[in-house]
Amino acid sequence: MTATKKNSSKDNRAPSRGLFVNTGNGPTFQAIDIGHPEYMAVIDPDTAFWSLVKKEKLADVLSGGDLSRAYAKKSKQFAKEMNTLRFGLKPSAVYFNPTERCNMNCTYCYIPEKMRRGGKHMPEKELLGALDILKQHFNSTLPKSSKPQIIFHGAEPLLNRDAVFAGIEAYGKDFLFGVQTNATLLDDSAVDFLTSRDVSIGISLDAPTARIADQTRKNWEGEGTFKYVIDAMKRLKGYDGWSVICTISSANLRYLTALVNFFHKQEVPTCLMNILRCTLPPSRRVKPGDEQAAKYFLAALDRTYELYQETGRGLPIGNFANILMAIIAPGARRLMCDISPCGGGRCFFALAPNGDMFPCSEFIGIDRFKGGNLFENDISDVLVTEPFKMVTGRKVEDIEPCRRCAIRHFCGSPCPAEAHEMNGGMHKTGAFCEFYEEQVRYALRVIADGKVDAYMWDGWEKGMKDTFAIQGV
C-alpha cells in the first residue's frame, strides 16, 4: 500500500513550482524555425500547443512571461484533449473492399497483383450480410447521433457494381457511403445512382495530361485511364460530393502545379495530393526523394493560393488542409495518417472481400496483419488482436528521431505499413520525414501570414471556438 502511494505520479513530481520554461515542472517549449522572415514557432510537443512568436521576442517567451503563465493554466486541458484524440476514439468508418479484382495495374498499388488479376468478388448476399453485422456493431458502440461511414474501396469496387449498389440502396439510412474508384466504370447510370443518394465519390488522377498520367495508371493491356477520368469529371461537374485523389510519385512530381491548374479549371471541389505509400516493393520504384517531393508539393500549394487570389475560388488540397486543421484545432482533423497512433485499427478498419479484417487497407494482403474475419469473429475482439495492436500501439514516442521531434503530433510519423514492410519494424520511421517537416513548416507560415482561408474548404470554421488567445507575442 505504501509502495503504491510512494510511486504515484503526484508524489514523484519534481518539487518545482514550474516557474521556468524547459526545466522542472515548467512548460516545455521547443522553438522551431518555420522559414518565416518575422516569426518562429514555439511548441509543446506533448500537447501540440503552439504559438507563433516574433523572432525578437523569443528570448522573452523562453524567460517565462505571459505566454508561459497563460499556458500553464491550460496545459492539463490540452494534454487531456490530445490523450483523447490519440487513445480515446472508437472506430466509426470501414474501408470496405467488395472485390479483389481490378481492371487496372497501377505501378504503386498496394494490393498484390495476383489478387487484382484473378481475385474474387464478394457476393451480393454476403455484402448485405456484412453491412448488417457492421450496422449492429456500430449501433452498440457509437452514439445515436453519429452515422458511421462505409467507403467502398479498391481494388476497383465498381467491378462488383450490382452488389455495391444493392448495399447502398438497402443501408442508405444507416451509413454515410463513399466510393473510391479509378473512374473507368463511372458511366452515366452509375453517376446518376450515386449522386442521387449523396454518396461521396473519389476518383483517381495523377497528372494533367494523358502522357504523364498514363505512365502509372494503366489497365492490364497497358492502356491509360486518363480519357475515362476526364469523361467522369464532366459527368460529376456541379456535384458537391466528389473529389480527386492524386498520388505523388517521381513520375508526376514536376506536374503538380499544372495539375492544380487543371483541377481548378475542371471545378474539382476538393482534391487529395497524397505522397506515395511505399509499403510494397513495386511502389518504391517511383518513390520521390523527400527534398524534391517537398519542393514540388509546396509549389502546388502556392499555386492554389494564387488561384484563390485571382478567382476567389480555392482548390482545397485535403491532406494539407488536414495538417492546418491538426495545428489549429487538433480534434477537428478529418484524416488520420498524421496523428500517432494513426487511425488504422483505431478510427477505422479495412475489410477484404472474403470478410478478413485488417487495421487499414494498406495492410490488405499482408497475412500477419489479419486480425480476424467479420463473418467468424466478433468485431470488438478483432480490434484488440495482436495484429491490430501492433498498429494501434505504434507511438511516436517509441520511434527515433520522432520521439524528439517538435512536430510529432502534426506529422504522426506515417506509415506503420511502410515502417514494417520497408524499414523493418513498427518502431522505425516510414518512407518520408523531411517532406512532412517541410509541410508543417509551410502550414505554420500560412497561419503566420493569415492565409488559412485560402487553403481550406468553405465553412471550415463553423462550430469552432478559441481555447487559447494571447496577444503581443
- Tell me which of 416, 420, 422, 460 binds ligand SF4, using CB under 6 A: 416
Q: Give the residue with the Cβ less far from ligand SF4, 32 or 134.
A: 32
Site membership for ligand SF4, residue 44 (CB under 6 A): no
Stretch that binds ligand SF4, among 207-215, 235-243, 264-272, 341-349 (CB under 6 A): 341-349
Site membership for ligand SF4, residue 342 (CB under 6 A): yes
- Tell me which of 44, 206, 437, 438 binds ligand SF4, using CB under 6 A: 437
> Least distance from C-beta 433 to ligand SF4, angstroms?
3
Angstrom distances, CA of residue 221 to CA of 111, 178, 213, 304:
18, 29, 16, 35
Site membership for ligand SF4, residue 251 (CB under 6 A): no
Distance separating alpha carbons of residues 164 and 177, to the nearest angstrom: 10
Residue 372, phi-psi category: left (phi > 0), alpha (psi -120 to 50), beta (remainder): left
> Least distance from C-beta 61 to ligand SF4, angstroms?
22
Q: Give the residue with the Cβ less far from ligand SF4, 233 or 272.
A: 272
C-alpha cell at 451: 492565409
Chain center to CA of 316: 14
Residue 17: how many CB atoms within 10 A of its CB? 10
Total binding residues for ligand SF4 by CB under 6 A? Answer: 23
Site membership for ligand SF4, residue 436 (CB under 6 A): yes
- Tell me which of 111, 248, 278, 405 binds ligand SF4, using CB under 6 A: 405
Distance separating alpha carbons of residues 62 and 263, to the nearest angstrom: 44
Q: Contact, 237 vs 278, CB < 8 A?
A: no
> Least distance from C-beta 394 to ligand SF4, angstroms?
9
Q: Give the residue with the Cβ less far from ligand SF4, 164 or 405.
A: 405
Site membership for ligand SF4, residue 438 (CB under 6 A): no
Which residue has cell 469552432? 464
- Is the four-CA dihedral 77, 83, 86, 88 of positive or negative sign? negative
Site membership for ligand SF4, residue 91 (CB under 6 A): no
Site membership for ligand SF4, residue 336 (CB under 6 A): yes
Beta-strand pair 176-181/149-152: parallel
Q: Contact, 66 vs 322, CB < 8 A?
A: no
Q: Give the residue with the Cβ less far from ligand SF4, 322 or 413.
A: 413
Distance separating alpha carbons of residues 285 and 252, to the nearest angstrom: 13
Q: Give the residue with the Cβ less far from ligand SF4, 95 or 177.
A: 95
Distance separating alpha carbons of residues 388 and 368, to the nearest angstrom: 10
Distance separating alpha carbons of residues 283 and 278, to the nearest angstrom: 5
Return the closest-CA partner of residue 473 out of 71, 76, 82.
71
> Least distance from C-beta 337 to ligand SF4, angstroms?
3
Site membership for ligand SF4, residue 419 (CB under 6 A): no
Site membership for ligand SF4, residue 344 (CB under 6 A): yes
Please name the residue ranges forming H helices in 142-225: 161-171, 188-196, 210-216
Distance separating alpha carbons of residues 14 and 17, to the nearest angstrom: 9
- Tell me which of 402, 443, 447, 454 binds ligand SF4, using CB under 6 A: 402
Distance separating alpha carbons of residues 150 and 342, to the nearest angstrom: 19
Q: Give the residue with the Cβ less far from ligand SF4, 159 or 390.
A: 390
Return the closest-CA partner of residue 101 out of 113, 93, 110.
113
Which of helix, strand or coil describes residue 303?
A: helix
Q: Give the residue with the Cβ less far from ligand SF4, 110 or 226.
A: 110
Q: Give the residue with the Cβ less far from ligand SF4, 212 or 276.
A: 276
Site membership for ligand SF4, residue 433 (CB under 6 A): yes
Stretch that binds ligand SF4, among 227-235, 258-266, 297-305, 394-402 (CB under 6 A): 394-402
> Least distance from C-beta 191 to ligand SF4, angstroms?
28
**Which residues form the interface with ligand SF4 (CB under 6 A)?**
336-337, 342-344, 360, 362, 396, 401-402, 405, 407-408, 411, 413-417, 429, 433, 436-437
